[in-house]
Structure 1
Amino acid sequence: MRDTYGHALIMGAGTGLSASLARAFAGRGMRVSLAARGVDKLGALAAETGARAHGCDAADAGSVAALFEALDREGAPDVVVYNPSARVRGPLATLDPAAVAHAVGVTALGAFYVAREAAIRMEREGRGAILFTGASAGVKGYAQSAPFAMGKFALRGLAQSMARELHPKGIHVGHFVIDGGIRNPGRAEPADAPDSMLDPDAIAASYCDFLDQDRSCWAWEIELRPWVERF
């Protein structure tokens, strides 16, 4: 049995993968809500996809709760995608604890806040999908990138735990390991390395394929990388 979804919320919306997801979801006839700390940048995408833009700080539990309460008035989303993350780079001994706490808060705690609000509503309906955009840093920590690994490892653990709890309740949980750089309007492959980055439209298509899985063979995690990427 396959589910049919009608309203997608994209957290951390911007011009890259989030924009491709918004177009893909709108192309399937879904209503789309976009959420970001600053909504000014979302005007063109909202106009293109018919989406509504909402201001929200994903790392603030109160802001997230207020967003979902606002969405309740127009029908809670049955698909929620969590994209936000934050990085702090540098040797471990030089990292600022406050900056690390913020980075982990955006990447991991924010995902929990959003997932909790989504799950409360989806459990009432006995259906829905919650998708997390992960990274290779969530399965292997890189030197001088400890905060990003901390956040992405926690994100993956959250998704795995949620899948085990919520799949039997009809809620499809997915974690996507994006192993490689993503093309966006300001970032493309170097001339000497063609096809070495992920196409955001292709990633969005994989998210849609995930939503289309028959519940007799649900996945909880998918790794995506360019065919030339080493792993």
Structure 2
Amino acid sequence: MTTPTAIVVGVGAERGLGAALCRRFAQGGYHVLAAGRTGARLEQVVAAIQAAGGSAEAVPTDATREAEVLRLFDRGMAPGEGRAPADLVVSNAGNNQRLDFRTLSVETFEEFWRVGCLSGFLVGREAARRLVPLGRGTVIFTGASASLRGKPGFAQFAAAKAGLRAMAQSMAREYGPLGLHVAHVVIDGGIDGERLRSRRPEAVAERGEDGLLGIEAIAETYWHIHRQPRSAWTQELDLRPFKESF
């Protein structure tokens, strides 16, 4: 019996969504390729998964660089003896910061687009190239509130995420009939992870108990999307804590 393989792009801190996705997929019996920019953080995530009895490996990857994404997929589609080629891919890379539009530089705007949109294009394109000929698989893109609307100070983030969402829709319409399930998840609210807790502890305190999205709960939804029967596929869904206004 072969072990299925998953690729998760955008894995950072152990208390982050990317790491939670890796853990959930490993719990589901997958060998997980954890891809992100920081090797030390990837090794921590992989070590925790292996300590819990799961299977994972770290693949340092800058998802804005085509050659590195190609190398990642080469690894994912030929993972080794006893392991099947990848059939579950998540594009989770992203960055977010409030910036004054009047002082926003071209370089900063482009960097947000590269991380939030270009990386999704590279991951999505390679997933389509490798999985469509096989007639199966799931590709999930992590979106945000900014995928749907721009807010003051977040023009650079909204432009990237809106582009990612439109690309996911195009992919779903083109490749769904060929057996590739493409989904986009709108994370509409703050995530209870290391990034928010370290950068904006006052926001965490303000939201209070159950005011943030739990990373394990989000990961469970991604797993559910992957396990959906193809007679009832989700293309887009949104997630928010029950206290969030919308």
Bin the TM-score by the shorter chain.
over 0.9
Question: Does residue 1:181 correspond to 2:179, yes or no?
Answer: no
Q: 1:143 to 1:191 in 2, by over 3 A?
A: closer
Question: Does residue 1:59 correspond to 2:64, yes or no?
Answer: yes
2:234 counterpart letter in structure 1: A
Aligned to 2:23: 23
Question: Does residue 1:8 correspond to 2:17, yes or no?
Answer: no
Of 210, 216, 219, 2:231 maps to: 216
Deviation at 1:95, TM superposition (A): 0.4
After superposition, give the CA deviation of every residue in 1:147-205 in whole Å (9 maximum; x if it has no partner): 10000000100111111011101111110000011111462731772110000000011
Of 56, 77, 87, 1:72 maps to: 77
How large is the Cα RMSD of the aligned pairs? 1.6
| Unpaired runs of at least 5, structure 2 | 50-54
Question: Does residue 1:204 correspond to 2:219, yes or no?
Answer: yes
1:45 counterpart letter in structure 2: V
1:207 counterpart letter in structure 2: Y
Deviation at 1:143, TM superposition (A): 0.6
Q: Which has the higher contact order (CA 8 A, sep 6+)?
A: 1
Secondary structure at the aligned position of 1:9 is classed as: strand
Deviation at 1:55, TM superposition (A): 1.3
Deviation larger for 83-92 or 18-27: 83-92
Aligned to 2:52: none
After superposition, give the CA deviation of every residue in 1:40-83 in whole Å (9 maximum; x if it has no partner): 11222102223110111111112211222233331532111011
Deviation at 1:88, TM superposition (A): 4.8
Aligned residues: 227
Q: Check the 8 A contact 2:34/2:59 in 1, yes or no.
A: yes
1:99 counterpart letter in structure 2: T
Q: 1:212 to 1:41 in 2, by over 3 A?
A: same
Q: TM-score, normalised by structure 1?
A: 0.93
Q: Distance in 1 between matches of 2:97 and 2:59?
A: 27
| Unpaired runs of at least 5, structure 1 | none
Aligned to 1:113: 122
Deviation at 1:99, TM superposition (A): 1.1
2:152 counterpart letter in structure 1: A
Deviation at 1:114, TM superposition (A): 0.8
Deviation at 1:87, TM superposition (A): 3.2
Q: TM-score, normalised by structure 2?
A: 0.88
